[in-house]
Each structure stands twice: as structure tokens, then as C-alpha cells.
Structure 1
Amino acid sequence: MQADRGIFYGWRVVAVCFVVASFAWGLGLFGSSVYLQAVTAAHGWPVAEVASAITLFFLVSAAVQRLVGRSIDRWGPRPVLALGTLSIATGVVLIGQVRAPWQLYPCFVLVGIGWSALSTTGLAATVAPWFERHQGRSITLAIMGASVGAIAGVPLLLLALERLGLGAGLAAAGLAAACVLLPLIGWVLRFRGPADLGLRRDGDLPLKGESTLPVPPAIASPAGRRSLLWSAAAGFALGLTVQIGFITHHLALAAPALGATGAGLLVSATGMTAFAGRLVLARIVDRVDPRRLAAVIMVMQTMALAAITLSPAASVLVVASLVYGYGIGHVTTLGPVVVRREFGAAAFGATYGSAATVIQVVSAFGPALFGVLRDALGAYPVVLGAAALTTTLGAVILTLGRQKPAGRS
């Protein structure tokens, strides 16, 4: 039986996480390309030196994923996400004040700590205790804010830098994040789960002789926990390594066929299909096996990469890019959904934090691997062929690591 006292509080938590994701991806993952261009242009420093500081941002984030998950399990999301907000906001402000290349490194350490708390692990661990029947939809909608960070956050960041300059522009961005997020986190995330409100997950009232709708049990058995967790980590790590590499190099590989303007439009269109994919995922994710769906999406992405490899036609490049883009949101989002479905809500933060550490460390090397292979092999189509094989391997690992729920034949 569900409460009839208005909107279930868990959806307010999802809404706040959506806003958090918008700022986190705008100032973190997608913002990194803006910092690279703006800092090198402002100071004339080598691209490689600034890029190495940005790499530290990703490595620091990967290193503290498990700590973020365990901290949310222990103390709740409010202190962890508040600290993450202060960290990323301070790091962004300080990037605009640096006067020597070495000063970038502590700035990006702060950004990395903030990104780890405000991105997938932190948001999924925040939402997980509130839902059971809608576990997949709630996590998907929360992380959908990432698309807003890409579509709106980056242009706004660029506009601030253009109008205010590097120092004042980044200061304005950091302060805006703190002023918007800290009140929302402090007010809405003050509860750790529905039990604090006398409710059960999904807004159900305490049982009074009535049962709720059937809830799928956690799949992981004591004997199979290790293989389930690490097959998920390995499968998604391989898929995301290719995905991040593809996103980073998409403009460069499309420009020879479409020109600079056409390649830019294709990148934007690919982002829109990724957003559309997230919308579809939110509708279906709680009615399907998320591990199997992730494997199917990776096979679809493999076919798109193979098409670009085998055909130089611009039309093939456009269609394959849009198909590949549709799966981007699925692969990004389904990792925590798989772990939540298979391991349940108890200690989800620490469990997914362990997997996320592997996923982020491995996938951080995607852009560099694409670049090294491009230089060594001389052409992107050959690189995409290797990427297709890697994505296929990820799908195979996810499929082979699947364990049926206890009691099912």
C-alpha cells in the first residue's frame, strides 16, 4: 500500500541528484575540455602539461570511489555531497587563479575529489535506499542530469569565460555551483532513507496485513558475489574505455569526411541521441534484466563501430555515430543499476564503489589509447575495429558473468 500524502519524498531526492549531476558533469567531466583550452590559451603553457594535471583529476576520482560509497553508507549523503560540492567549487575557482603550471595539480585534486562524490557512485548510493520497484528508473533519472551538464553546462561555462575572463569566469562558475547545490543538499538530503519518514521503499506505508507489489530479490548468492561484481566491473570498464575514447576523438575522426562544421553538428546530434537513449532507458529499465540489456547495447555499439571501420562513406559515419550515441547513456547508467539489482540496497555504496574504482581507472585511459593507436596505425578506422573487438569482449564478460536469481531454473 502506498502513501497518499503527495509525491513520495524519494522523488525529491532524485530531483536534487539530477541538479547535482548537471553541475558535476558540467564542471567535471565535460568541463575538463574547457579548462584545457582556456588555461593553455591564457598562459601559453604546453597542452601536455595541462592535460597531465587533468589526468590527475580522473585518477584521484577513481582512487576515492570506494571511500565515497562507504561514507554514504555510514553517514548518509548530506555530508559527503556537501563536502564534494565545496571541493569541486573550490578547485574550479582556483584553476582561474593559478600562476604556475605546478599549481594546477592541487586544483585538479580538489576537482577530482568533488567529482567522485557528485558523480555516479555518490548519486547512485544516495538514491538506492529509497526505491526497490523503481530502482532502475530512479537512478537513471538522477544521472540524466549529466546530459544537461553537456548540453547546457559547457556552453554556459564558455560564455562566462568569454564575458568575464578566466579568473572571474571560473570564480562565478564555482560560486554558482556552491550557492545552488549546498542549500538543496542540506535541506532535501537530510534524511538517509524512507525509514526516517516512517515509510518503506517506493513510498509504501508499513504493512498492515497487506503486501506490496512483488519485489525482485537480490540475485547475488554468497558463492557468486565475487564473480558477479567483478564481471560487471570488467564488462563496463571495457565498454566505457571505448566509449570515452570515442567521445574524445569523435570530432577528429569525423572532420575529414564532414568538415569542421559538419563534424561539430554530428557530435551535437550524437549527444542528443544519447539523451534520447536515457529517456527510453528510464521507461524500460525496471522491466528488463539490466545486465542483459547492457550486453545487447554493447553489441549494437560494436556493429556501429564495425560499420565505420568497413565503410568510408559519410552517410555510414553519420548513421553509425547516432546509433552508437544512443547507447552512451545506457552504458554509463546501467553499471550502478546492475549492482543495485544484483546486490540489493544494503551496503550498496561500498559495493558499487569497489566496481567504480576499477571502471574509472581503466576507462580513464580510453582517450590516450585511441590516440596512441591512431598514431601507430595511421588511421581511425583501424582503431575503431580494435574498439569494436574490445566492446564485444565487454558484452561477453557481462553475459558470462550473469547469475540467475535464487530459486529460478
Structure 2
Amino acid sequence: MPLFSAPSFAPGQVLTTCKLGLGQMLSWGSAFYLPAILAGAMGESLGIPPSRIFAAFSLALLMMALTGPVAGRLIDRWGGRPLLMATNLWFALGLVLLSQVQTQGQLFAVWLLLGLAMGAGLYEAAFATSVRLYGKAARGSIVGITLFGGFASTLSWPLTTWLLHSWGWREACLVWAAVQLLVLLPLHASLPRAPARASADAVMPPAGLAAAPTAPTTPLRGQWLSLVLLALTFAAIWFIGTSMMSHLPRLLMVSGATATAAVAAAALVGPAQVASRIADYAFLRRAHPLWSARIAVMAYPLAALALAVFGASGSWAYALAFGLGNGIMTVVIGTLPLAMFGAQGYGQRQGLLMVPARMTQASAPFLFGLALEQWQLGALWVLMLAASIAGTALWCLRAKQV
């Protein structure tokens, strides 16, 4: 069976998915992944410790949490094209201002602006844009978008590192601002306009075809328990994912791996995430996403077990297992609410579901870093606890299909 078979996509959907995916890959790289490379140089230039840079970044993540529901509601009403174009301007403005900061106060203010752009322009916005265009048929698009997004760090970290060493961190910010204006703004301007809202749960081809009849949407009354369980799951998963994006090489070195071996093992996460997303779509695309989530969440404790038992020799197994599980869970965050509650109001609902996740994401670098400092490899118990919470919540959910 071909990976992207024709019956699974509306006319133009593959091209739209590629545009959204490329936009996500470059947008994540131009903002979210910047501190990992530039924090040291920025701190040295501004005369503040790198921890202050990450504090400003955490503030941006909190702004993301507040922005998400509003952005989702706007996409539900108007479609994603105008909002994504606006975020390109916000990203560009924020990056230009970031290149000019001279004080700590300016730094925090600029990251607030970038947090606003990230909250309205990253994964949840792209998912909601796809659902607004294609209804429940957007599941394949969500997978495709995350395939591109999986390469964001693979592309951006080496490029930003090269820009840093060749020109400096301020110039690197300006280059990424140019990418937002010259590449992503025209790219998002070429997205199809959202169709009329009369057909939320049907496939709604944007290329001038008639919209399908409206499918009934199950009201959310009586669904609050499911919403709470989903929000709890997503919060636990984002805590694990953000902790690893911030501290994975350091965790592997604590296990006994050399710095070179730790970085080499950590580099496997990106390809493992992409491979798991392809496998999920190829073999489980007709299954309810809840089953994908239940399978994927088991990868986290298995990864922790491999590192705890085998130490440094288990670092590659840890990175692969974490990448495989995290890759599928990133997709499930977009597809599971769609399957359980339908496409009507998807953007706003997704934004609300992700508020707790964004909160835990903002706290994860500090909390897991503190656990790693105090307990060394015992910090794996924190990840085990988060995975247990997510797994329990997922098994309490029923595989409803709207």
C-alpha cells in the first residue's frame, strides 16, 4: 500500500500539507530551537548567565499557552492562512528586535513577542489549519506536517551553529528573520483559503469543489472527563519531551557516556521520530489514534529501563526508544482530539487542551534540570512518573469516534 494513497487525500491536500510542513520545520528552527545554540553567546554578549536566556524563553512558553486558545478560535472562524501570515510578520519583527537587544529587560520583552508568534504559528495552528480545510480527513495531513517538523532540529541546529561561528548570534537572528519574510510569508500566502464553515466534519476541498454535506458533531456536554484526561496526557508527554530536548545529552553523560557519544546518540532522536510517524501512518492509520497513543507511551518507561540497567551502553537504545515513542505522541496530540470530538471547534478546543501542556513545557527545563543535578540518573524516575500518568489517563479513555 503506498504511503500517500490517493483516496486518503482531497485534491491539493498533499501540496498544502507540504507547505504547512515546510513552514513548521523553518518556524520551529527560527525560534523554539534558537536558545539551545545561541544562549551561551547571547548571555556573554549581554553580561548575564545563560540561565537568564532560558528564563526569558520559559516566559515565551507561558505566552504560548495563553495564545493558543485565541489562535485556535481565530482559525476555526477564518482559517489558518491569514493567521499564519501574521505570525510570519511577528516572528520576523521579534527576531529583528532580538538581534538588537542590549539589556535584560529588552530580552524578556522580545521573547514575550516571540512567544505570541509561537503560540499562534507552531504545531497546533498548523493542525487546526489543516482540520479547518479538510475536516476529519486531516489526519494524514497532521502526520505529514510532523514528518517535516521532525527535521526542524536536524536542519536548524547545524545552520544556526554555522551562522553563530561565521557571523555572530545577532546576525543569525537576522538571517532567520529574513527566512520568515522571504520564504515563509509567501509560502503561507499561497495556502488555500478556508471554505465556508457549513461542513466542519467533512472533507472540504479548497480547490473550488462543492463541500460535502455536514456531518453531525457530538456535543461536548458530558465529555469533560475525556477532555481532562487528554489534557493530563498531553501535559505529561510535553513535560517528558521538553525535558529531553533540554537535557538529553547531559542525561546520557550522567549515565557514563562521553560527550561525543552522548551527542551522537541524541542525534538519533530526530530520525527515530520520523520513522515512527511513517510507521504509524503506514500500519495504524485506519485504527483509532488512541491505540497508537497507548502503544507509543510504553516506549518512555522502556527507554528509561534501558538506560538504568545498561548505563552508557544503553544510551543509543534510550535515544531510539524515546524518539520512536515521542514521534507518535506528537502526531496523536493532533489526531486524537479530532477522532474523539470531531472537527467542529477543533482549533479552540485544541488550544485549551494544550494550555496545561504549555505550562509543564515551560517548567520542564528547570524542574528536570534540578532533578538531574540532585539525583543524577535517579531523575529517570521523574520521567517514569510522567509516563505512568499519561499511560493511566490513556487507558481510562474510551476509543470514541465522532
For the 8 Å contact 1:302–1:389, the answer to whether it is kept is no
Structure 1 residue identity aligned to 2:389: L
Structure 2 residue identity aligned to 1:32: P
1:137 corresponds to 2:140: yes
Q: How far apart, in 2, do the equivalents of 1:24 and 1:54 lie?
A: 15
For the 8 Å contact 1:131–1:201, the answer to whether it is kept is yes
The worse-fitting range, judged by mean Cα deviation, of 116-125 and 314-323 is 314-323
Structure 1 residue identity aligned to 2:117: G
Q: How far apart, in 2, do the equivalents of 1:331 and 1:249 lie?
A: 19
| TM-score of the pair, normalised by structure 1 | 0.88
1:105 corresponds, among 102, 108, 112, to 108
In the other structure, the counterpart of 1:261 is: 260
Change (3 A) 1:236 1:15: same
Length, aligned pairs only: 392
CA deviations on 1:53-93 (whole Å, 9 max, x unpaired) are: 11111111111100010011122212211111111121122
1:185 corresponds to 2:188: yes
In the other structure, the counterpart of 2:67 is: 64
Q: Using the TM superposition, give the Cα deviation of residue 206 of structure 1 relative to its aligned residue in structure 2, in angstroms.
A: 5.1
CA deviations on 1:240-274 (whole Å, 9 max, x unpaired) are: 21221123211012125221111110111122211
1:337 corresponds, among 335, 338, 358, to 335
CA deviations on 1:171-214 (whole Å, 9 max, x unpaired) are: 1211122111111212224x104889xxx61759659xxx99xx
Aligned Cα root-mean-square deviation (Å): 2.8
The worse-fitting range, judged by mean Cα deviation, of 395-404 and 71-80 is 395-404
Change (3 A) 1:43 1:133: closer
In the other structure, the counterpart of 2:280 is: 281
In the TM superposition, 1:188-337 aligns within 5 A as 188-189=191-192, 191-193=193-195, 201=203, 203=205, 222-256=220-254, 257-309=256-308, 311-337=309-335
| TM-score of the pair, normalised by structure 2 | 0.89
CA deviations on 1:270-312 (whole Å, 9 max, x unpaired) are: 2221121122233245311212221221122212213323x14
Secondary structure of the residue aligned to 2:268 is helix
Q: Using the TM superposition, give the Cα deviation of residue 394 of structure 1 relative to its aligned residue in structure 2, in angstroms.
A: 0.8
Structure 2 residue identity aligned to 1:394: A
For the 8 Å contact 1:86–1:178, the answer to whether it is kept is yes
1:398 corresponds, among 382, 390, 394, to 394
**Structure 1 spans left out of the alignment, 5+ residues:** none
Q: How far apart, in 2, do the equivalents of 1:227 and 1:270 lie?
A: 33
Structure 2 residue identity aligned to 1:373: A
Q: How far apart, in 2, do the equivalents of 1:28 and 1:225 lie?
A: 35
Structure 2 residue identity aligned to 1:145: F
Change (3 A) 1:69 1:222: closer
**Structure 2 spans left out of the alignment, 5+ residues:** none
1:36 corresponds to 2:35: no
CA deviations on 1:2-48 (whole Å, 9 max, x unpaired) are: 999x9712222211111110112101222221231230233332122
